[in-house]
Amino acid sequence: MELLGIEQVRAAAELLKGVSEVTLLEPSRALSEKCGGDTYLKCENLQRTGAFKIRGAYNRIYRLSDEERARGVVTSSAGNHAQGVALAAQLLGVKSTVFMPQGAAIPKVEATTRYGADVKLEGIVYDDASAAAMKFAEETGAVMVHPFDHLDVIAGQGTVALEILEQLPEVNTIVVPVGGGGLISGIAATAKAVKPSIKIIGVEPHGAASVGLALESGELVPLEVMSTVADGLAAKTAGALGLRHVQEFVDQLVTVNDEEIAEGLLLTAERAKMVVEPAGAAGVAALMSCEDLDITYPAVVVLSGGNIDPLLLLRVIRFGMGSAGRFVSFSTMLPDRPGELHRLSGVIATTGANVIGVEHRREGVSKRLLGDVEITIQAETRGFDHVQSVIEQLKAAGYDPQKLSLA
């Protein structure tokens, strides 16, 4: 199996001049302070189409023959690769058909359509859409542009590493989100060719760690179940090329859970003023628990994409605030009579917490006196110690607060 060569990446970089952006490399004071070493963010969330995918998609489609272009291209994607293929095809005058899961984020579906692709919603997860795309390719002759398992795609993604090394020649570690393995394959092969001493760390979502499973098994094994907020990293089966490149070039592969991803997204938004999608925050999430990482500084974390549905953004930020002790939700029982809610609010006010939501429920309250009512409170807090203080003061006032999960 052929591995990516540096000349292929340099050729892709020449091809992409004027097509893809040379994205910012920004220092992150928050991560640098937390981890004790200079840390930077490679902002592919600011790339055209909002993610790195245009790099590999354009390189792949450009290199098709005239006869292949005439047949059109087809792909499958949860969103970012879809937009990359649609825009690349539009720029090159090629007809594109894109299969996306039925649950794909609405903004991603709409953006893909605006770039001129014929979008078809198929199946529940990415692999359902992938199977439909492959069937379409067989029936129509359209050329399949795989999201991660093709050398031209991987070469395009490798241009991210060329930029990082030009922007920060002294970089010693690059941390990369991992889905099917295309981005980390390109970055790892390129970075190691230019600077063999560099460390490459991959970060997978705990609920969709297909590359890690393949490494453990020594072969491609489909995940039986996937569950992650990072839909952009949810590949049921790793790519064969990706697995080979990870085995050859990647130094460490770790996983992060949804709670850690949410905290990473929150930090990126608050401290770096960057909007990223959950997949794009995976590397930040790993750095926030950097004691498990084999990092030599300076380090660069790739923010792979910023395409996120605003409603999902609100939910993830709220979840991230809860994970960081910045938001608490609890329920308690009150006598159903005038003044009791006012009294409860007064106790909360003395703790310094800020009430942002109240729910009042009489019906369905079991095992309680008929004169009781259940109250659910959402409040902003200043951290875990403050949450505990609020709970303790409520108990001291005679309440029985039950903390609720934010998941």
Among 120, 144, 168, the domain-final residue is 144
Write the DSSP symbol of residue 20.
B
Express each pLDDT in 357-403 by its tens digit: 888 776 655 545 556 888 888 888 888 888 888 888 889 888 888 87
Average pLDDT over residues 243-262: 96
SS3 at position 40: strand
Average pLDDT over residues 127-131: 85
> Does 262 share its domain with 391?
no
Give pLDDT, residue 126: 75
Domain that holds residue 220: 6-52+150-320
Q: DSSP letters along 288-324, please?
A: HTGGGS---SSEEEEE-B----HHHHHHHHHHHHHHT
Among 87, 110, 144, the domain-final residue is 144
Report the alpha-carbon distance of residue 247 to residue 359 in Å, rounded: 52
Q: Is 0.85 topped by the overall pTM?
A: yes
Band (pLDDT 50/70/90 cuts) for residue 132 is very high
* List of residues 6+ apart from 45 with CB closer than 8 A: 51, 274, 275, 276, 277, 280, 303, 304, 305, 306
> Does 100 share its domain with 231?
no
Band (pLDDT 50/70/90 cuts) for residue 241 is very high
The pair of three-digit structure tokens given for residue 407, joined into one six-digit string:
């998941």
> Does 244 share its domain with 389?
no
Among 97, 121, 144, the domain-final residue is 144
Mean pLDDT estimate for the chain: 91
Q: Answer yes or no: are the C-beta atoms of 145 and 133 closer than 8 Å.
A: no
pLDDT exceeds cutoff 90 at 106: no
> Does 304 share its domain with 188?
yes
306, part of any domain:
yes
> Does 222 share its domain with 308?
yes
Give pLDDT, residue 368: 52
Q: Answer yes or no: are the C-beta atoms of 235 and 221 closer than 8 Å.
A: no
> Does 127 share its domain with 159?
no
1, part of any domain:
no
CATH code for the domain of 339:
3.30.70.260
- C-alpha separations of 167 from 22, 26, 42, 140, 162 in Å: 10, 10, 10, 44, 9
Give pLDDT, residue 136: 96
pLDDT exceeds cutoff 60 at 331: yes
CATH code for the domain of 86:
3.40.50.1100
pLDDT exceeds cutoff 60 at 320: yes
**229-266 core/surface letters (b: 16 or more CB in 10 A; e: else):** bbbbbbbbbbbebbbbbbeebbbbbbbbebbbbbbbbb
Give pLDDT, residue 407: 44
39, part of any domain:
yes
> Does 102 share its domain with 226?
no
Beta bridge partners, 254, equal 203
Report the alpha-carbon distance of residue 177 to residue 254 in Å, rounded: 10
Give pLDDT, residue 364: 54
* List of residues 6+ apart from 260 with CB closer than 8 A: 285, 286, 288, 289, 323
Nearest one of 197, 198, 186 to 161, comparing CA atoms = 186
> Does 254 share its domain with 374?
no
Q: Burial-class residue 148 by CB neighbours within 10 Å (0-12, 13-18, 19+).
A: buried
Least confident of 30-39, 109-118, 280-289, 398-407: 398-407
> Does 130 share its domain with 188?
no
> Does 268 share its domain with 121?
no
* List of residues 6+ apart from 65 with CB closer than 8 A: none
Report the alpha-carbon distance of residue 102 to residue 84 in Å, rounded: 19
Average pLDDT over residues 176-188: 97
pLDDT exceeds cutoff 50 at 56: yes
pLDDT exceeds cutoff 60 at 292: yes
